[in-house]
């Protein structure tokens, strides 16, 4: 769909891209981690759950993306620097799906 829209809208000088975030560290995930820890009797700090478990085992960059990481990328695409990029599906996941 991204490529089809990019092709169809090119004559109007409109770029179309999609971003595909993987696990993103959010306040909601942190609250869930604390609640799961409470229910299961574990000891997990707010940010350790996603970072320690996911990053240590699956993410080559050893950290899950943050909201800020995603926002910076979307800002880049919306800026003049991203004017040449169109029709792309870009995964923001620290390389998680590359292995």
List the end-to-end C-alpha distance of the chain, in Å, as a whole number.
25
What are the tokens at 35?
């609640």
Domains of the chain and any CATH numbers? 2-98 (3.40.50.720)
pLDDT tens per residue, the chain (99 residues)? 999 999 999 999 999 999 988 778 888 877 777 787 778 877 665 555 554 454 556 778 877 888 899 999 999 999 999 999 999 999 988 887 765
* Spatial contact of 17 and 59, defined as CB atoms under 8 Å apart: no
How many Å apart are CA 19 and CA 90, to the nearest integer? Answer: 5
pTM over 0.85: no
d(CA 86, CA 17): 6
* CA triple 84-85-86, angle to 5 deg: 120
Task: Please report the pLDDT score of residue 49 as a whole number.
Answer: 53
pLDDT confidence of residue 61: 81
């Amino acid at each position: 769909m991204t490529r089809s829209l990019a092709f169809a809208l090119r004559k109007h000088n409109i770029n179309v891209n999609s971003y595909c975030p993987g696990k993103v560290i959010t306040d909601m995930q942190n609250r869930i981690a604390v609640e799961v820890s409470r229910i299961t009797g574990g000891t997990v700090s707010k940010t350790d759950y996603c970072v320690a478990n996911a990053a240590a085992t699956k993410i080559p960059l050893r950290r899950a993306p943050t909201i800020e990481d995603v926002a910076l990328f979307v800002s880049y695409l919306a800026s003049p620097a991203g004017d040449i990029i169109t029709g792309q599906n870009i995964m923001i996941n620290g390389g998680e799906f590359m292995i």
